[in-house]
């Protein structure tokens, strides 16, 4: 289960990068930029899932997505991506991750909407169920990590904006 939590946290990096760019002073703040950001995130999640069987985070930790055979795989992956994007923002990210951590089969909210499941790359079977201690540790990681990520994001923005103001 720690691998799903780690993959989820790694996959927050594209969101952070888009947020940093959007918050630059010379960057326009309007609906078009928000829409483009949404399209980029859907393209990242759905595209990586379609082309490689999982996002960068899943690939790094040795997981991939298994979808039921159906003609609408592209739509399923876009729906999965949209659910993940909605669940990136607090407090939904915590609920999203906790559902996957505490369910015996390890399925997340995105898995329910698409009928997918996450499997180990080598065995192509769902990862072993986590022990109670692993579930508690993963839960704490999922609750604390976004707070740490937010602090890091704030420090990066303060550093970027501080340098721009001084110049």
| Domain ranges within the chain, ordered by starting residue | 2-166
Question: At 88, phi and psi to the nearest 5?
Answer: -75, -30
Let me know if 50 is exposed, middle or buried by CB neighbors in 10 A (0-12, 13-18, 19+).
Answer: middle
With CA atoms as reference, report the closest residue to 82 among 37, 41, 49: 41
Give dist(CA 15, CA 8) in Å, integer: 11
Q: Which two tokens stand for residue 54?
A: 């999982």
Give dist(CA 161, CA 167) in Å, integer: 10
Global pTM reads: 0.69
Per-residue model confidence as pLDDT tens digits over 77-106 = 888 888 887 877 777 777 877 887 788 777
Tens of pLDDT along the chain (167 residues) come to: 677 777 877 887 777 777 777 766 666 666 777 788 788 888 888 888 888 888 898 899 988 888 877 666 778 888 888 888 787 777 777 787 788 778 877 788 888 878 888 888 877 777 677 788 878 887 777 777 777 777 877 787 777 766 554 44
């Amino acid at each position: 289960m720690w691998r799903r939590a780690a993959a989820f946290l790694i996959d927050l990096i594209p969101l952070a990068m888009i947020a940093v760019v959007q918050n630059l002073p010379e960057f326009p703040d309007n609906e078009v930029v928000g829409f483009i950001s949404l399209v980029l995130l859907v393209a990242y999640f759905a595209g990586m899932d379609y082309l490689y069987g999982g996002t960068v985070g899943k690939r790094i930790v040795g997981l991939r997505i298994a979808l039921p055979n159906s003609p609408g795989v592209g739509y399923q992956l876009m729906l999965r991506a949209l659910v993940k994007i909605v669940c990136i923002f607090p407090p939904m990210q915590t609920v999203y991750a906790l559902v996957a951590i505490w369910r015996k089969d390890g399925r997340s909210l995105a898995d329910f909407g698409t009928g997918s499941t996450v499997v180990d790359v080598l065995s192509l079977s769902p990862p072993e169920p986590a022990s109670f201690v692993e579930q508690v540790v993963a839960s704490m990681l999922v609750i604390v990590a976004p707070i740490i990520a937010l602090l890091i994001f704030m420090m990066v923005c303060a550093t970027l904006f501080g340098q721009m103001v001084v110049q």
